[in-house]
Structure 1
Amino acid sequence: MRHVPVLIVGGSLVGLSASLFLRHHGVPHLLIDKHRGSASHPRAMGFTETTLEHYRACGIADRIPQADPGARLRRVTVATLFGDWIAETEWTPGEPAQRSAALSPCTGAAIAQDKLEPILRAAALEAGAEMNLGVELISLIQDDARATATVRNRNDGAEEIITADWVIACDGANSTIRDGLGISRSGVGHLRTLRSVLFHCPDADAVLDRGAQQFEIKQAGFNAFLTTYGDGRWVLMFDDDQERDTDELKEAVLRALGRELPFEIITTGRWELAGRIADRYREGRVFLAGDAAHQLPPTRGGFGANTGIDDVWNLSWKLAAVLQGMAADRLLDTYHAERHAIGWLRHQQTFSRPDYAKWAPATFKPEPLLANDAMEFGQLNRSMAVVGAGPELPAAATPKEWAGQPGTRAPHVWEQGASGTRSTLDLFGKAYVLLSANRAWIELAQRLQVVSVLVGQDFVFPDEQPFAAVFDIKDAGATLVRPDGVIAWRSDAQPDAVAQDAIDQLIAARA
């Protein structure tokens, strides 16, 4: 029997991100995964600016090739890949196809999941993570003191008992941990089962010069979806659950291409189009993350894997604070409070969009579509770890509309004279940070042993984006930002005993 502070079950994108983020906060842990490496089918492709911001905070953003800031994702309807464009589908109706480059120091990344995962795995191991691959979970029980997992090595069959203070379940949409805990799910449920074929066809990449990356194939008796991973690999997604032999797959690929190009079939896939959100993200010492918490189809808003990566970014610093004795256990309750609401928001937005609304059941009530910038940069976190994010506020709004609202991501601004090398976001990511242009607040922060930034000295805001305007506070005030870059609290006034108590309660997670 051995003991670890945190056990991560599942070593795909979300589990690997959790491992990286926990090591970023100095938390020892063990990651187990029944697989020995990445899946042959790359699955996810697009990673958002916010996801890259998390990796930037961990110091590895430069290992991930980021998208051209001038590029935009385009989906077109065609009869064949090389045929004329029949129509172009908007990302979000009525919204610009690309987000404002001024809102983030990152541009997102168009990298295949099977190429991103080795980067994350290597970075986590370099930071001191422990991983046991080819090890599957057999059982998991918990009590008030610990969680106890029985695991088995798939190479030799050897079993081991591992105890942990906390467990992060990243074991996918068919999570055995979630099911074992009896956690139900809500949402539109199962809608369809679809199949795909992954193939290698470098010659097809020539069509990308026309500016589109996603292609809806519309022919008489043949509807499919074709897209690229940008490295000579393409995936053709069928509009049905029909099993096809090799000859039928080759015929379908040539039909979609519309040209006799050489290609090689790599593998096939089968996936469920469904929408399910776990009703509880936490059960005792176990936290659900990624598809175990929210099963969502791929969207051009990046609501799938990116939502799971956001989950563990939110959770990792909270686990660190509790394990390191800096906060009470009840801080961990805020994980469900904040992330479940966002998971549900993304469910509603996914199935309110035209490409998925047509598959939703009649009982589903579509909601007004929110701006792309609001969904990426302006989701609201409501919990006891935020002061001032009341129920009267919308679930999401653009950064301009929020202007430093507690519960939202701290705004990105390049430092004056930094030539695009230091962002306000680079101030955050490890600890609570208090920003103020008022030295009295800085002195209070120092007494409370909170990291402080004296605006105008430690960070100089550009003249066209002054601190008071960006964070919507008066010159005498201050704002407190959490380790995950979310604004926890702000004040317009001079520091006093009430403010000191508010900051102290937030950091210690006391009611």
Structure 2
Amino acid sequence: MSNINKTSVIVVGGSLVGLSTALFLSSWKVPVILLERHHSSSLHPRAIGYTTRTIECFRSLGIDSRLPVTQWKGGPPRRITIESLAGKWQDEKLWTPKAAGPPEDKKAGRPKGPEEFSPVAGIATAQDKIEPVLRECAIEQGADLRLGYTVASWSQNEQGVTVAAMDRDGVEIVVEGKYIVACDGARSPIREKLGIQRDGVGHLKALRSILFRCPQIDHYLNKGFVQFQIEGREDGFEAFMTTYGEGRWALMWNPVDKLEATKDAIDEATQKDMIRKAVGEEIPDNGIDLITTGEWELSGLVADKFSSGRVFLAGDAAHALPPNRGGYGANTGIADAHNISWKLAAVLNGTSRPELLATYDAERRSAAMVRHDQIFTREDYGRHVAGLEWAGKNAKILDDVAMELGQIYRSGAVIGADESLPLAKRPDEWNGQPGTRAPHVPLRRGGEAISSLDLFCHGWVLVSKDGTWRVTAQQASGTTGTEVAFVQVGGEVEETEGSNIGESFGIGETGAVLVRPDGYVAWRSLTKPVDAVASLGSALGQVSYAVKNST
């Protein structure tokens, strides 16, 4: 007889996005059971770059300092075209053309990067080094991680969801909950059962890869390049090499003959010959340590919708985005997790109506489509899709920092995100517009240097220099049932030399800004209205989908 377990949210899939979802949900005190068919991380490191915004999300939980040491900092990894590592090195390939890059900071004499707009920086660390930390942190927060369980079936109805899963010994468990977050990969069985289609450039090609160590070639990294595009050879051989740090390299190529295109294992001698071919020099057999091989599909596909009933898609299940130097794959998935978690928490704790959950699709699907289009507008992949047509083919290349920190949300959980506003702008081109990430402003609290970002991601927050908003916030909390904390600049926190909260958030001395639990601006009032209680109460009730507000 199956063992029945009850929870609030069932997360299917326990890689990077699934673990992040379990972590964020648990931080909101939402009971969660995660089901993952593997017992540990994949031998393939997969994702390696984590953007500033991702680290901000982890910082809000106080775990950013626990993440492994970075491999490199300072923007997208450098890529160069080569004939082989030992052969001719040709041109450096930029991720974003200089013409589309950031404007120069005339005072500093250099372009402004993400470090100018955040208290943290992005990191580069292999996924298999990040995942154990996320598992540990999720468990500490109360998440129930069931590793080694494969989902056999699932169903949903008006009352909730049910998932049956089986371990390797054939022991079945049944998990009952209110919602499912499907983080079960690009081939998501859950998405397929829901009948959700996908759109985008589609399938591009199948790749085979070899993960290995070879100390003899590590010196090729001394010039600062970590990605190597192999092409332009007389023998027609094309491949891609990159490093994952700690001496680990990956060689990837597109199989060309029928035998090689099968998923049959490649023998060790063939693997080492492929590596020698890419390196362009003789390497003794004992100089190559083979770790594993793999096969995977390179695609650009975004689901037509990110939810159906009580099921929500996140990560690759929602958007299959190829590895790229903008970090749009894993980081987009982690942002999905951050977005859906506070919304599920608000609905489950009874303060928000279920309609709030529809804003997940409105916000995250748009963000994913923008990122899909940016990947294939840039040269890395653009040359491979020149003959294809899709809706966003002629998208203008956006600045890296705009993509990382400046995309806008438009949904019912935002008031005032004008349709005329661009899809993304650099943080220094925004100033607190609703739908944008709340800007980083250096502040002091009790003598401690903090960021304005440290005020957010723990609930609804109202910020103003005008202390009379405190009572207004209390009254709005009472009328809506949605608790909103008030922070007075000049009271609980102080501006530092050169910082200006009003300028950064676009409000006057009596104005206020309402920030959502995910750190995005939901509403703002440039000055304090005559009936501030009614204005804030109406806005808070609307953007939080307050249950009390609807009665």
For Structure 1 versus Structure 2, the TM-score category normalised by the shorter chain is over 0.9
Alignment partner, residue 173 of structure 1 = 186
**Aligned partner of 2:304 among 268, 279, 290:** 279
Alignment partner, residue 80 of structure 1 = 84
Q: Which amino acid aligns with 1:77?
A: T
- Residues 211 and 133 (structure 1), Cα distance of their counterparts in 2 relative to 1, 3 Å cut: same
Please tell me whether residue 212 in structure 1 is matched to residue 236 in structure 2: no
Alignment partner, residue 336 of structure 1 = 361
Residue-by-residue CA offset, 1:47-95 (whole Å, 9 max, x unaligned): 1111111111111100112465557621112222245531111111122
Alignment partner, residue 131 of structure 1 = 145
8 Å contact 2:442–2:496 — kept in the other structure?
yes
How far has the Cα of 1:335 moved from its partner? 0.4
Q: In the TM superposition, what are the counterparts of 1:396-475 in structure 2 within 5 Å?
A: 396-416=424-444, 421-447=449-475, 448=477, 449-475=483-509
Unaligned runs of 5+ in 1: none
Q: What fraction of aligned residue pairs are identical, expressed as a percent?
A: 46
Residue-by-residue CA offset, 1:340-396 (whole Å, 9 max, x unaligned): 111111111111111211222432333111111110001111110000012222111
SS in 1 for 2:33: strand
Q: In the TM superposition, what are the counterparts of 1:139-288 in structure 2 within 5 Å?
A: 139-154=153-168, 156-218=169-231, 219-220=233-234, 221-240=236-255, 243=260, 244-261=266-283, 262-288=287-313
Q: In the TM superposition, what are the counterparts of 1:58-73 in structure 2 within 5 Å?
A: 58-64=61-67, 65-66=69-70, 69-70=73-74, 73=77
Of 44-53 and 438-447, deviating more is 438-447
How far has the Cα of 1:421 moved from its partner? 4.9
SS in 2 for 1:222: coil
Alignment partner, residue 19 of structure 1 = 22
8 Å contact 1:202–1:233 — kept in the other structure?
no
SS in 1 for 2:134: helix
How far has the Cα of 1:504 moved from its partner? 3.0
Alignment partner, residue 393 of structure 1 = 421
- Residues 163 and 399 (structure 1), Cα distance of their counterparts in 2 relative to 1, 3 Å cut: same
8 Å contact 2:464–2:487 — kept in the other structure?
yes
Q: Equivalents in 2 of 1:330, 1:7: separation in Å?
A: 20
| TM-score where L is the length of structure 1 | 0.95
- Residues 84 and 475 (structure 1), Cα distance of their counterparts in 2 relative to 1, 3 Å cut: farther
Q: Equivalents in 1 of 2:358, 2:145: separation in Å?
A: 27
Of 71-80 and 128-137, deviating more is 71-80
Q: Equivalents in 1 of 2:35, 2:74: separation in Å?
A: 39
Residue-by-residue CA offset, 1:150-193 (whole Å, 9 max, x unaligned): 11122x21222221101000000010100111111111111111
Of 102-111 and 15-24, deviating more is 102-111
- Residues 204 and 416 (structure 1), Cα distance of their counterparts in 2 relative to 1, 3 Å cut: farther
8 Å contact 1:351–1:366 — kept in the other structure?
no
SS in 2 for 1:105: coil
Residue-by-residue CA offset, 1:386-417 (whole Å, 9 max, x unaligned): 00012222111111111111101111122259
Residue-by-residue CA offset, 1:91-146 (whole Å, 9 max, x unaligned): 11122698332112221111111111101001111111101111111111111111
Q: Which amino acid aligns with 2:13?
A: G
SS in 2 for 1:445: helix
8 Å contact 1:196–1:235 — kept in the other structure?
yes
Q: Equivalents in 1 of 2:84, 2:520: separation in Å?
A: 45
SS in 2 for 1:40: coil
Q: Which amino acid aligns with 1:392?
A: S
Q: Equivalents in 2 of 1:476, 1:456: separation in Å?
A: 12
SS in 2 for 1:369: coil
Q: Equivalents in 1 of 2:300, 2:57: separation in Å?
A: 26
8 Å contact 2:210–2:294 — kept in the other structure?
yes
Please tell me whether residue 10 in structure 1 is matched to residue 47 in structure 2: no
RMSD of aligned Cα (Å): 2.0
Please tell me whether residue 90 in structure 1 is matched to residue 94 in structure 2: yes
Q: Equivalents in 2 of 1:420, 1:74: separation in Å?
A: 37
Q: Equivalents in 1 of 2:178, 2:309: separation in Å?
A: 10
Q: Equivalents in 2 of 1:329, 1:113: separation in Å?
A: 34
Alignment partner, residue 47 of structure 1 = 50
- Residues 250 and 285 (structure 1), Cα distance of their counterparts in 2 relative to 1, 3 Å cut: same
Alignment partner, residue 500 of structure 1 = 537
Q: Equivalents in 1 of 2:121, 2:291: separation in Å?
A: 30
- Residues 72 and 370 (structure 1), Cα distance of their counterparts in 2 relative to 1, 3 Å cut: closer
Please tell me whether residue 300 in structure 1 is matched to residue 328 in structure 2: no
Q: Equivalents in 1 of 2:450, 2:488: separation in Å?
A: 16
- Residues 419 and 456 (structure 1), Cα distance of their counterparts in 2 relative to 1, 3 Å cut: closer
8 Å contact 1:66–1:107 — kept in the other structure?
no
8 Å contact 2:346–2:352 — kept in the other structure?
yes
Q: Equivalents in 2 of 1:356, 1:489: separation in Å?
A: 38
- Residues 192 and 457 (structure 1), Cα distance of their counterparts in 2 relative to 1, 3 Å cut: same
**Aligned partner of 2:316 among 291, 297, 301:** 291
How far has the Cα of 1:493 moved from its partner? 2.1
TM superposition outliers: structure 1 runs of 4+ over 6 Å: 417-420
Q: Equivalents in 1 of 2:454, 2:114: separation in Å?
A: 19
How far has the Cα of 1:463 moved from its partner? 3.4
Q: Equivalents in 2 of 1:152, 1:382: separation in Å?
A: 40
- Residues 342 and 71 (structure 1), Cα distance of their counterparts in 2 relative to 1, 3 Å cut: closer
Q: Equivalents in 2 of 1:82, 1:103: separation in Å?
A: 40
Of 172-181 and 215-224, deviating more is 215-224
Aligned residue pair count: 510
Of 497-506 and 433-442, deviating more is 497-506
Q: Which amino acid aligns with 1:147?
A: V
Q: Equivalents in 2 of 1:228, 1:294: separation in Å?
A: 25
Q: Equivalents in 1 of 2:503, 2:70: separation in Å?
A: 30
Q: Equivalents in 2 of 1:440, 1:279: separation in Å?
A: 45
Q: Equivalents in 2 of 1:98, 1:224: separation in Å?
A: 34
8 Å contact 1:414–1:420 — kept in the other structure?
no
